[in-house]
Amino acid sequence: MKISHLIVAAGAACLAGAASAQWVADPAFNSKSNAQSIQISAGSTITGNSTAQANGTYFLAEVGAAPLAIYRHRLVFESDTLNQRGWIKGLQQTASGDIVPDTDVLVQATSLPATKPSLYNQWYGFGKGERFYYQVFGTAATTADYTITMDTEVVTPDVLGSFLPGQISISTIDQGHTSTTHIHVYDANLNPIPGYSNIRPDSSTFQSLLTREYDPGTYYLAIGLRNTANDQATPDDTITRNQPVMDFGGMLINGQPTAGNQDVSFSITDGIGTYAFDAERGGNYGVYWATFTIVPTPGSAALLGVMALLGARRRRA
């Protein structure tokens, strides 16, 4: 059975509010420490003109709050001389997984013409008013004005079923693909669980294995290509710990514009067995989203019924 996440249009009343702000880029704001503060939501625009990085603009963008959900946000460029750059910036992380404050590192760059639309940035938020630094600039050829418009859709995660509490492993290794993956797990309120992420466990693979303890409850799973970043430091059981992270919480972003829906299929192993799931990351900069529940350990009288429930979970055909 093929599993892919469903994206549906979000209601304008929830996402855009009464009106969407329109902003004009001011090149006097030229660094993280001197960034132009803007508030954006679905339909917001940024207009400007830049022919070099030196006359581009740094923004400190804040997204309008919305009901708790997974939102895919895009900033889409339009211009008569389309080849401007949009860089989402973050913080450096050392090889030992220490986040370096007050640094300025690229997390995601626009890619032309590899993506469709031809020029845009993308990230995932959860309605919590996420903030991030955004640098926009042009080249000698981008003499026309640009307009950047924010587009927002709601992502409906796949439902994977129920698993038993205790140690659970989520793995993209030996799942029929060679994608270089990055796993994150979130709690029921779409907060990243500290330490619940993995890029690669050892030098034998460029794929991911996340083994952690789980209590009863609801969880969300995010799988992207490396690097898929939030504001959390990389835990010490992954050997690749120097990937950049975001300055603030409330968002997840993938840095890879690689074309196509790369295979990020995975397996989940709990105390009963291993189940394999097909998954694709959903296009350029995409992240696969799913949800699963951990059910209390049953008494012996109910064990057969729970095993039947777990056996009915969606899995690879």
Same domain, 254 and 143: no
* pLDDT at residue 236, as a whole number: 95
The stretch 130-134 carries a mean pLDDT of 98
Q: Quick check: is 187 in a domain?
A: yes
Pairing state between β 181-186 and 192-198:
antiparallel
Per-residue DSSP letter, 307 = H
Query: Would you tell me how many other CB atoms lie within 10 Å of the CB of residue 90?
Result: 26
**100 to 109, 202, 230, 258: CA distances (angstroms):** 21, 24, 14, 28
Structural domain total, the chain: 2
Same domain, 20 and 127: yes
Rounded to the nearest integer, the mean pLDDT of the chain is 90
**Per-residue pLDDT tens for 238-270?**
999 999 999 999 999 999 888 778 999 999 999
Q: Which two tokens stand for residue 102?
A: 């007050």
Final residue of a structural domain among 155, 187, 216? 155
Final residue of a structural domain among 117, 133, 155? 155
Q: Quick check: is 1 in a domain?
A: no
Pairing state between β 158-163 and 288-294:
parallel
Q: Quick check: is 123 in a domain?
A: yes
- Residue 70, pLDDT above cutoff 70: yes
Same domain, 151 and 167: no
* pLDDT at residue 111, as a whole number: 84
Distance CA 311, CA 286 (A): 30
Same domain, 175 and 121: no
The stretch 208-214 carries a mean pLDDT of 98
Same domain, 103 and 130: yes
Same domain, 143 and 191: no
* pLDDT at residue 20, as a whole number: 84
* pLDDT at residue 279, as a whole number: 98
Report angle CA 135, 106, 264 to the nearest 5 degrees: 120
Q: Is residue 136 a contact partner of residue 148, using CB atoms and an 8 Å limit?
A: yes
* pLDDT at residue 261, as a whole number: 85
Same domain, 303 and 166: yes
Q: Is residue 220 a contact partner of residue 251, using CB atoms and an 8 Å limit?
A: no
**Per-residue pLDDT tens for 8-60?**
333 333 444 446 899 999 999 999 999 999 999 999 999 999 999 999 999 99
Q: What's the pTM value of the predicted model, to 2 decimals? A: 0.90
Q: Quick check: is 130 in a domain?
A: yes
Same domain, 151 and 196: no
Same domain, 120 and 245: no
Q: Is residue 104 a contact partner of residue 69, using CB atoms and an 8 Å limit?
A: no
- Residue 300, pLDDT above cutoff 90: no
Q: Quick check: is 42 in a domain?
A: yes
Same domain, 90 and 147: yes
Final residue of a structural domain among 131, 155, 179? 155
Distance CA 121, CA 46 (A): 13
Distance CA 203, CA 159 (A): 32
**Per-residue pLDDT tens for 177-189?**
999 999 999 999 9
Same domain, 243 and 119: no
Task: Find the CATH number of the domain harbouring 173.
Answer: 2.60.40
Distance CA 100, CA 245 (A): 10
Task: Find the CATH number of the domain harbouring 13.
Answer: 2.60.120
* pLDDT at residue 304, as a whole number: 42
Same domain, 120 and 242: no
* pLDDT at residue 5, as a whole number: 36
Domain that holds residue 240: 158-311
Q: Quick check: is 101 in a domain?
A: yes
Q: Quick check: is 201 in a domain?
A: yes
